[in-house]
Structure formats: C-alpha cells, structure tokens
Chain A
C-alpha cells in the first residue's frame, strides 16, 4: 500500500512536522510505503488557471516542477493525507499551492454526483483522503469549515473513503495516528 503525505507546514512550525513524522511512522510500521512531501521545501509554481492540463496536455500541467511530481505521487497512492495548520478554517498556503496543481488528475467534463455538478474522473481509481488539521486550541467554527472542506475535496477528487481530524497543539503529535483509524477502508489496512 502506498500513501502520499502532503505536509503544508509553514516555516518554523515543528509541531505539525512532528505530526507528519508520527503519521508516516505509523503507516510504515503497518507495511505501507509512504512518500512524504514537505511542501515548503519544494519548488512548486502556483496554478495559472490556464486549463492546459485539460485541453492541451491532458492530465499534465504545463509547468514542469515538483507540482507534477506531487500529482503523480498522489494518484499512484492508496491514501493521500493533507496535513496542515488550519488557516481561517482552510489549508495553509503551502498545502494549497500543491492542491491547486492536482486538477490535472480529473477531467474537465461535467458529471452529476448526488444531484450536484462536478468533474468526471480521469483515472479508474483515486486515493482515499485523510485531512489532518492543527489548531492552537479548539475552535468549532474553523473545525467545521476544515471538515467540510475535506468532505468537498473528497467528492471532487473522487476519493472512495475520506476522513478528517483536528489536533490541538496541547496534544501529543502522535495523537494524529487516531485519524488513520477513522476512515473505514483506511482502518482495515492500518492495524490498531
């Protein structure tokens, strides 16, 4: 089993890095191959909104940088983990830069899913999605936004299973591993 861990930690945030290490260690101990991406250290250009990855080089962004490698890593995985300090309820800018570049993984064409319009899948299978957000302290409004964002991403990125969890900085970073057991299909593959 393969997992791609997208770590959206902003510079100087050792807690979120420690959460990433705990997640990777747990998965590796269960036999997974984990590809971690510390996104702030990667050269990833921002999405230009040109849609050439849909209409000119289908499935491939015109920008040849680590953004392509992240997209490849994600689609070839069984699990994608979005790890981020929660920023106004959403993802950090470093995580968002990488997530914006993965629209090449879906098709431009429209499809209705549960009565709402989304984009068709490009691939036969997509990774499950786990969102792990970190807050300084409980904040119900931001937590609700974060969980909704993961729910929405799971629909648009065609994840079969998805789950989300929020950690507080007062907790041990290893508490994040509980998130791995939340999603049904993920839990099957990660022994408690």
Chain B
C-alpha cells in the first residue's frame, strides 16, 4: 500500500461525546496519525446511523479512507448493536463492488473486565467483517479494565495508561507506513492497567457509590422479574 493520507475514526460507544473510553482511545490514536501527516475524520456510529442521509455519509467516508479505525466497548461478549448494524451496512454497501481503495481496518475493543481476553470474540468478528467488506485487516487491539480510564483522555489517565499509550504510538507508526499493527502491540495493549484485585475492588466500590448516589443501595440485589 502507498502511504496512507486519510483515516476515518469510527467511535462505537453510545455514550455522550467525550465520556467514553472508546473515544479516548480513538482520539489519542487519531492525534498520533495527524502528527504523521494523515488527515483524520471522526464519526460517532450512534449519530451516523440516525438518518439515511447520515448513513450515506458514513458509507462515503469509509470509501474515501485509506485507514478505518473502529473503537468500541464490549457488550455481552461482542460488538454493541449499533456497531453491528454499521458493519452490516458497510459490508452490504461494499460487497460485490470493485473498489479503488482497500483500506486498512484496525479494531480496538475495550471491556470492563480485568482480562483483555474477553474481547477476543468481538475482534474475531471484526476480522471477518474486514474480509467480507474488502478491507485489509490491520489487527485487533484488546483492552481490559476500561473502567479505569472511564472516558478520560489518555494523558489525564496518568502512568497506569503508559502501556496503552506506547501501544497506540506504535500502532500509529505502523498504520502511517501502510502496514498492519504488529502482534506485539496487541500484547502490550492487553497488559492490565492495574492489578486485577485492585480493579475488582475499585469497581465494586464504584457500583456501591453510584447506587448510594441514586438512593438505590438497598435495592441493588433486586429481582423485578422473579418467576410468577
């Protein structure tokens, strides 16, 4: 592939702009690509699918990109509905058509479990999509403990994100050279941000604090759909 000039960042989180870990990861990578002279466009899948006109804009943006980066949160072991629908539409649009471009496709999944391995199935689905949609698979990056970043810009996340930052720096270098992301980058990305026990403790405390704020502490174990 000749040196890429354009990249499309697709953010698959349904959360408001500026509040998702998916966006934090994608924004950091987009900045690194911009520093290497690559023009980046960012689209939120939730908004891009809202009307047929916007969907058409999304499909055109994919066609125009040399690099497509999809960042998303793990939902029930796979991609969220919105991302699944977007990939269905993109694949349907590209299947059976001769395209000038075969963009590099990088998928970045993050989950709320300590182990990044939970994302494996979702990334395998992304790879199948790339094959069907005529994209060149550039790799899949899996992050566990996404809740520790909690939507903050990676720089603000401090030292615990240093492996993530290093991985995305190296991913940017590979993509800018028109190459897939090396496997060791995925290994680096998958390293825990903090020890699992600490993440679990903080996570459980976080749920309790949120429930307390919502005055739901005594109802946390509720079973509204108990058998009739």
Contact = CB atoms under 8 A, between A and B. Distances in A.
Q: Do A and B come from one complex?
A: yes
Given A58-B219, A109-B204, A123-B223, A47 B125 contact: no
B78 A55 contact: no
Contact of A118 (B113, B132, B223, B227): B113
Contact of B78 (A10, A48, A117, A149): A149
Contact of A145 (B124, B200, B207, B222): B124
B10 to A, nearest CB: 15
Interface residues of A, number: 51
Nearest to A152: B77
B81 A48 contact: no
A153 B14 contact: no
Interface in A67-111: 71-72, 75-76, 87-93, 96-97, 99-100, 102-103, 105, 107-110
Interface in A5-60: 10, 46-52, 54-60
B60 interface: no
A47 B81 contact: yes
Q: Which of B81, B204, B221 has the most chain A CB atoms inside 10 A of its CB?
A: B81
Given A55-B210, A145-B121, A46 B223 contact: no
A117 B200 contact: yes
Contacts, number: 147
Nearest to A50: B15
Interface string B102-123: 0000000000011101100110
A141 interface: yes
Interface of A: 10, 46-52, 54-60, 71-72, 75-76, 87-93, 96-97, 99-100, 102-103, 105, 107-110, 116-118, 122-123, 141-142, 145, 148-149, 152-153, 156-157
Q: Which 10 A-B pairs have the closest CB atoms?
A: A88-B128, A93-B85, A55-B210, A97-B81, A152-B77, A58-B222, A56-B214, A108-B207, A93-B84, A72-B225
